[in-house]
Amino acid sequence: MKLRQTSAGLVESAGEVPMPQAIDRKGVQRLMGEGAPVVEVLPREEFEDDHLPGAISLPLRSLETEARDRLDPAKPVIVYCWDAA
């Protein structure tokens, strides 16, 4: 399998979906500057209580089904989850 580094910092192989990869603050800022959406995967109630400015709520339990309708699969996405536990 051939892997390559994309400009978004994702590793992908031909014909397959890019694999998630951790990025630092500068990477987040760069991707946001390029228009990448920020997705919070916490339950909706927690999202409503507090979330990152401009973030989209896609709870983890419904991420797979809702993401297809709300996100462009050809563009990078920043996924964020904060858990105080």
Q: CATH code at 50?
A: 3.40.250.10
The count of domains in the chain is 1
CA-to-CA distance for 49 and 24, rounded, in angstroms? 25
Q: pLDDT tens digit string along 24-78?
A: 989 989 999 999 999 999 898 999 998 888 899 999 888 888 888 999 888 899 9
68, part of any domain: yes
6, part of any domain: no
Q: Where does the pLDDT of residue 81 fall: very low under 50, low under 70, confident under 90, or very high at 90 and above?
A: confident
The boundaries of the domain holding residue 36 are 21-80
pTM: 0.69
Q: Where does the pLDDT of residue 22 fall: very low under 50, low under 70, confident under 90, or very high at 90 and above?
A: confident
Residue 79, judged by CB atoms within 10 A of its CB (0-12, 13-18, 19+), counts as: middle
27, part of any domain: yes
5, part of any domain: no
pLDDT at 64: 84
10, part of any domain: no
73, part of any domain: yes
CA-to-CA distance for 54 and 28, rounded, in angstroms? 14
